[in-house]
Amino acid sequence: MNKIILLITLLCTTNIFAESIEDQVQRKMDMQTLSTGLEMVQKGILYNNPSLTKTGISMIKKGQKKLIESHGEDLKKYLPMDSAFAFKFAKSAAKRIQDYSDELTEDLNSKKDYMKISASYTHIMNECAGCHLRIRKWRSEERRVGKEC
C-alpha cells in the first residue's frame, strides 16, 4: 500500500514539475519575442525604416498580450511574496506598453515626428526595465561594472 501511495505521489510531482518547466520555457520564449520586437523598433528608428519599426511594434503587442493572457496565473507562482501586487503591477505595465505602442504607431503613421517616436520607444523600455526592477528584484549594487553577478 505504501508503495502505491509513493508511486502516485511521485507521478503527481513529476507531472507538476514537467508542466512548470514547460511554462517557464514558453514564458522565456514570449519574453524573447518582446526583446526582439524592441530591438526591431530601435533599429527601425535609427535607420529611418518605418516598416521595421512597425514589425517590431507588432511583435511587442503580441508578446505582451500573450505574456499576461497565457501566463497570468502561472506568473503568480514565480512572483515575489506579495504576488497580488506584483501581478497587478505587471498587468498595469503591460497596459502602458500597449498604450505607448499605439502612440508610437500613430505618430509613425501620421506625424513622422521622430523625436516623439523615440520618446514613445523610451517609455516602452522604461516600462520593461521598471517591471524587471521591481518584480525580478534587480539591484543596481549587484550590477556594478567589474563585479561578478
Measured distance CA(24)–CA(124) in Å, rounded? 23
What is residue 71's predicted lDDT score, i.e. its pLDDT? 59
pLDDT in tens, 11-54: 445 444 445 677 778 778 888 899 999 999 999 999 989 999 99
Cell of 71: 501566463
Cut 0.85: pTM above it: no
How far is it, in rounded angstroms, from Cα 125 to Cα 108?
17
Instruction: Give the pLDDT of residue 76.
Output: 63
52-98: per-residue pLDDT in tens? 999 999 999 888 877 777 656 666 666 655 666 777 777 888 889 99
SS3 62: helix
Distance CA 65, CA 52 (A): 20
User: Which DSSP symbol is given to 146?
Assistant: T
